[in-house]
Amino acid sequence: MNARKMLAGAFIVMLGMGMASFKEDDRNFQISKNLDIFNSIFKELDMFYVDTVNAEKMIQTGVEGMLSLTDPYTEYYPEEEVSSLKEMTTGKYGGIGAAIRYYEAKDRIAVVEPTEGMPAAEAGVKAGDIILSVGGKEMVRGNMKPQEFSSKVSEALRGEPGTSFVLKVLRPLKNDSTVMEFKLTRKNIRTNPVPYYGMVKDSIGYLALSSFTENSANDFKKAFIELKQKGAKSLIIDLRDNGGGSLSEAVDIVNLYVPKGQEIVVTKGKLRQAQGSYKTQNEPVDTQIPLAILVNGATASASEIVSGSLQDLDRAVIIGTRTFGKGLVQTIRPLPYNGTLKVTTSKYYIPSGRCIQAIDYAKKNADGSVARTPDSLTTVFHTAAGREVRDGGGIRPDIEVKGDKIPNIVFYLMNDDLIFDYATQYCWDHPTLASVDDFKLTDADYEAFKKLVKSRNFTYDRQSEKLLKSLKEVAEFEGYMTEASEEFKALEKKLNHNLDRDLDYFAKPIKEYLSQEIVTRYFYQRGAVMERLKDDTDLEKAIEVLQNPVRYREILSAPVKTDESAKKEEVKK
């Protein structure tokens, strides 16, 4: 009997192996078959199609279609775009240090923001300058799409450090415009991942981190140590709108506050090389200093590793709105002809064991869309102290602060360059600004802005009008229109487009965006951060918590079990 069982077991194992081998062979056959079909179709089109096909564009479209079935972070970079990938991961490039974009009013490219201390800013190039030529070559759009035009000008501005060229711009002035020329010498540009840090209240330090690029952990550490030297006894880390970056930089930042040897991230993927464990490698700087971390819906990836792991280790209080929910890790793979593939190879898991990935890109709806994981399908995990945290939906703050929604009108004011243009106009009348603290947009300034908006015959889509129109169409289709016509007329009258009313009603958020744009012209990114902090609910809540040690410890402690909850737990066991 034992021999029979052994033979039967061996047969089942061999059968299983055979089935696995068959499935693998079938998969390889399907891949080979479909690649042959794709190759043959292209060759037939190239030879017989009535018009000449654009080979590069056609195959690029095929590649894009293939990648669309994965996730948004798996991307192909041809040789000419590899530099942008390197810039994204390192934060460095050779150029003049200036953000640019398409400016519709002039059908040209405008300088949006020179980087502090870089060649453009040092030479006197200002936001609002319209680029006419680079190195003697006229920069005109022609038949290019705005995005293509922007890329062309960006490419012309970049180059080997040490090379020089003449930049010709049109500078808008109050009553006229003037052409100006600047001789610029390119240099290695590195975006500063720590745009601002300082003391915000008594002994509370504040540190904003905008990205996790190469060496950002060192920049962060230097700023943190300087704040401690200035007397910081607690710290607010601002990760709002930080889309992430390097996983190792994130681990190094967490390492500043937790002991050496602590596992922060585990990665799990299909291949063995995608599996990994990331532990803190160095002695920490301060394991006791109270921490509050500000997050929002645009806090993603490496930012969620920092905020999520410090939450899991009960090392920081998280404040703000739920984060984006990106728990995926990308790897750079070289391709033929100097191309590069950035491909998602694994998911990451933070100390509690949870993965905060909010969207399952493998499960798509019939229309190709994907949805966030509903809260009902998430799983409960526990922090080191026993607090409940969940997976599948980003990082949920310990203290949720209702985020302000951007009004529709603000989006259109920005899109039509009205906020941008008013900031340029403001700088004509105010050549200098003493400090960020002294700046305040007055009622007279806002009236001047409203005047500019009206002079441009500004209009924008109002969602209420769109929905009302749709409702009327449905009511008419279902036969309710006759009886409800008077009500519709009354509602239509109340929802009538009134620009004066809208500019007054939404004055507060409009002024906030205006103020940040203006201050950035004088004090760059650090000024924008400082201006934002003037009226910041998240910051106020963080200060409130850090000033109350009892409340701080209470938030990071495990909930006290009542007799009833203890009984429920015993029943579960």
Catalytic residues: 301, 312, 326
The b/e string for 105-144 (b: 16+ C-beta within 10 A; e otherwise) is eeebbbbbbbbeebbbbbeebbbbbbbbbbeeeebebeee
Which tokens in the block code for residue 104?
Answer: 């519709």
418-429 and 443-455 are packed helices; what angle lies between their axes, rounded to 10 degrees? Answer: 130
Measured distance CA(504)–CA(360) in Å, rounded: 42
In angstroms, the CA 490 to CA 560 distance is 55
Helices (H), 381-498: 408-415, 418-429, 443-455, 463-477, 481-494
Q: What angle do CA 348, 354, 356 make, to 5 degrees?
A: 65
User: Which one, of 155, 156, 159, 191, lies nearest residue 95 by Cα?
Assistant: 159
| The two three-digit tokens of residue 123, written as one number | 């030479």
Q: Which two tokens stand for residue 94?
A: 């050779």
Q: Are strands 291-295 and 234-238 parallel, antiparallel or unpaired?
A: parallel
Which residues does 118 contact at the CB level (< 8 Å), separation at least 6? 96, 97, 98, 187, 189
Half-sphere exposure of 534 (CA within 13 A, CB side): 18
